[in-house]
Amino acid sequence: EVQLLESGGGLVQPGGSLRLSCAASGFTLRSYAMNWVRQAPGKGLEWVSAINGRGDKTYYADSVKGRFTISRDNSKNTLYLQMNSLRAEDTAVYFCAKEKESSGFFDSWGQGTLVTVSS
């Protein structure tokens, strides 16, 4: 059974940094592109970032480009999101999501981790 477990969320001040992790199990992580998707309180889903299976191609939404970095350690079955220069508008639940066969849509999601940016 595919399982994705996010961690690392919490309260951080504006301008601060946070690193999210997503531990994967039940499948071979290196075979799949992975993504981060977020949902701000009371809002809809927003795609944040993607990384291919080898980790040598990354993609970002304009809203986080230059501030967030996606990475992966396939040997540890873990996906990461390094978030720097955080803003109030980054407050959201962050989900990691597995792509189905590098298609661009997501067939498995984690439960999410809440990031709150506030002073």
* Residue the block writes with tokens 């984690």: 110
| CB of residue 45 to other proteins, shortest distance in Å | 4
Piece in contact with other proteins (CB under 8 A), picked from 22-30, 44-52, 72-80, 83-91? 44-52
Residues 100-119 contacting other proteins, CB under 8 A? 100, 103-112
The Cα–Cα gap between 117 and 109 comes to: 23
- The yes or no reply on residue 45 touching other proteins (CB under 8 A) is yes
Contact assessment for residue 2 and residue 18, using Cβ atoms and an 8 Å cutoff: no
The Cα–Cα gap between 58 and 110 comes to: 20
* Contact footprint for other proteins (CB under 8 A): 35, 37, 44-47, 50, 59, 61-62, 95, 97, 100, 103-112
